[in-house]
Structure 1
Amino acid sequence: MATFVLVHGGGHGGWCYQSVAKILRAQGHEVYAPSLTGLADREHLLSDAVDLNMHITDIVKLIQFEDLNNVILVGHSYGGMVITGVADRVTDRIANLVYLDAAFPENGQSLVDHAGEVILAAREKMRVVDGMELVLFPGDDPMGFYGVTDPDQIAWMKPKLTPHPWRCFEQQLVLNNEAEMRAIPISFVFSAVQIDSLTDEIRQQIREFTQGRFWEINTGHDLMISEPELTADALLGVSLTLS
C-alpha cells in the first residue's frame, strides 16, 4: 500500500482529485487531497497572509501531524511549486515527487518565472478584493489553459473554482536543503499541452532523468478531471516503481 498526498493547482482545491482518489483508494492505497489555505473549502481563510510559503506549510503540517512516511507527493500545475518546497522541508518523508503537468522550479524561481505567458495572462484579469490581489476567478480560465471540454465536467468544476492570491505566484521559492531534496526520485506526468512543447530530444532526456517514470496523457491541463482513469493509472505506475 502506498501513501499519496495530492496537491492541487491554482484556483482549484482538493475536490479536483475526487475521481483519481477514489480509484487509488479502491486499490488499497492511502490518499490525502487537502485544499490549500484560502482556496475551495478553505476559502473562508483567505487573507493577505496567504502565499507560497503558507501553502508549503499546509502540506508539511499535514505530513507531520498525520505521521506520513514514504509519501508519493503529487503536485499539479502551481502545486509543483508547493511540492518542491515541501520536499525541501521534510525530505526524509518523501519517496517520490510527481510533477503532474506541473511547474518544476529551480531555487529562487517564482511561478511567474516558470510559467511566463500563461500566468501573466491570468494577471491581466486580476481584481483587488479587500486589499488582496486575486486572479483565476471562475470563468477567467486564461487562454483556455484548464483544457476541460466535456460539458458535464465543466458544469461540475466551475462552481468549485475560487480566486487565487497573486502573491503565491510571484513569491520566489527558497530551498535550504536542495542537495538532499534533489536526490528524491522524480516522476513526470504530462498532458498534451506540455508534451507539444517538448522536442523528441528533451523527451528522451526526461525519460533518462526519471529512469522511465514518465507518462504522457493526451488531454488538457486539468488531466485529473478530464482523464482521471489514465491519471490514476500513471500514479499507480509510480507506486509500482517504488515497490
Structure 2
Amino acid sequence: MVNFVLVAGARLGAWAWDEVVPYLRTPGHGVYPLTLSGLAEKRGVPARQATHVQDIVSEVERQDLRDVVLVGHSYAGIPVGQAAERIGDRLARVIFVDSSVPTDGESFVSAWPDGGASVKASIAEHGGFWPPVPAAHYDGEDLTEAQIARIVRGSTPHPGATLTEPAVLAGPLSELPATYILCLIAGTEPEDAEPDEDVAKLLNSKHWRLAKMVTGHWPMFSRPRQLAQILIDSAVE
C-alpha cells in the first residue's frame, strides 16, 4: 500500500479530488488531498512559489508519510516536482497529471508562447491574482454541464506569484521515479498524441513512464475511476 498526496491545478483545492478518493481508498491506500495556500478554504493565506512547495513537503512530514506518491495536476506539477526531490526516501513515485513540469530557474508561465505576458497582465489587473475563468473555457473538455458548473463554482482566484516565480531544483528531474499522464481530447487517436518537448526529453529517462487518457484536461472530474486506476497501476509498477 502507498500514500497518495493529491494536488490539483490552478484555482482548485482538495475538493477537486472528491470523486477520485474513494477509488484509491477502497484497495487500502492512504489518500491525502491537499489544498495549497491561497486557494479554496485557504483563500487569503499569502502564497509564493516556495510556499506551495513547502505546503506539500509539510503535509508529508506532518502526516509522517512513507511510500509517498505525489500527484500533481496541471499547474501543481511545478510545486509537486520540486517537493518530490525534497522528501527524500519517503518518495515512492511522482505522477504528473497532464501537468507542467518544473525546470530550474523557470516559472509556470515561462513556457507560454508569449512568455507569460498575458498571464502577468491579468494578474496585475486583478490585484495580484489570476482570476477564475468562465464556463465556456471548459467546453470540449469531456465534461458535463454539471461538472463544469461544479468547477466554476469551486474555483478561486490563484495567487499570482506562484505562477511567475521560478522553480528551484537541486538535481535533474529525470532521476526521480515518475509517470506522466497525457490527456487527449476525445476523438484523438492515442498513438498520434505526444507530450510537449520538455516532457518528451524526461521520458527518455529509464525512471519515467508515459500513460495516456482519452479525455480532457480535468480527468478527476471527467474520468475519476479511470484516473484512479492509472494512479494505482503507476504507483505499484
**Structure 2 length-normalised TM:** 0.85
Paired residues of 1:56 and 1:83 also in contact (CA < 8 A): yes
Counterpart in the other structure of 2:76:
79
Is the alpha carbon distance of 1:118 and 1:144 closer, same or farther for their aligned partners in structure 2, counting shifts above 3 Å? farther
Distance in 1 of aligned mates of 2:13 and 2:150: 13
Counterpart in the other structure of 1:178:
171
Counterpart in the other structure of 1:159:
153
Distance in 2 of aligned mates of 1:70 and 1:233: 18
Counterpart in the other structure of 1:97:
94
Is the alpha carbon distance of 1:191 and 1:120 closer, same or farther for their aligned partners in structure 2, counting shifts above 3 Å? farther
RMSD: 3.1
Distance in 2 of aligned mates of 1:89 and 1:204: 23
**Residue correspondences, number:** 233
Counterpart in the other structure of 2:144:
150
Counterpart in the other structure of 1:238:
234
Matched position secondary structure for 1:103: coil
Which stretch shifts more, 20-29 or 108-117?
108-117
Counterpart in the other structure of 2:183:
191
Distance in 1 of aligned mates of 2:85 and 2:203: 23
Which stretch shifts more, 221-230 or 148-157?
148-157
Correspondence 1:1-243 to 2 at 5 A: 1-43=1-43, 45-47=44-46, 50-116=47-113, 121-123=118-120, 125-126=122-123, 128=125, 132-139=127-134, 144=138, 147=141, 149-175=143-169, 177-179=170-172, 182-192=174-184, 198=194, 209=205, 213-241=209-237
Distance in 2 of aligned mates of 1:95 and 1:31: 14
Distance in 2 of aligned mates of 1:18 and 1:151: 18
Is the alpha carbon distance of 1:138 and 1:94 closer, same or farther for their aligned partners in structure 2, counting shifts above 3 Å? same
Letter in 2 for 1:71: V
For 1:59-83, what per-residue CA distance to the aligned partner results, in whole angstroms no more than 9, with x for missing partners?
Answer: 1111111101120111001111011
Is the alpha carbon distance of 1:110 and 1:127 closer, same or farther for their aligned partners in structure 2, counting shifts above 3 Å? closer
Letter in 2 for 1:57: Q
Equivalent pairs: percent with the same residue?
Answer: 28
Distance in 2 of aligned mates of 1:40 and 1:106: 27
Which of the two has greater helix per residue?
1
Is the alpha carbon distance of 1:6 and 1:120 closer, same or farther for their aligned partners in structure 2, counting shifts above 3 Å? farther
Q: CA deviation at 1:46?
A: 3.2
Distance in 1 of aligned mates of 2:168 and 2:202: 24
Is the alpha carbon distance of 1:137 and 1:78 closer, same or farther for their aligned partners in structure 2, counting shifts above 3 Å? same
Q: CA deviation at 1:134?
A: 1.0
Matched position secondary structure for 2:212: strand
For 1:51-103, what per-residue CA distance to the aligned partner results, in whole angstroms no more than 9, with x for missing partners?
Answer: 11001111111111110112011100111101111123222211111011011
Q: CA deviation at 1:174?
A: 1.2
Q: CA deviation at 1:34?
A: 1.1
Paired residues of 1:146 and 1:221 also in contact (CA < 8 A): no
Distance in 2 of aligned mates of 1:6 and 1:18: 10
Letter in 2 for 1:156: R
For 1:168-201, what per-residue CA distance to the aligned partner results, in whole angstroms no more than 9, with x for missing partners?
Answer: 11100112x315x6422110111015977627x9
Any gaps of 5 or more consecutive residues in structure 1? Answer: none
Paired residues of 1:23 and 1:232 also in contact (CA < 8 A): yes
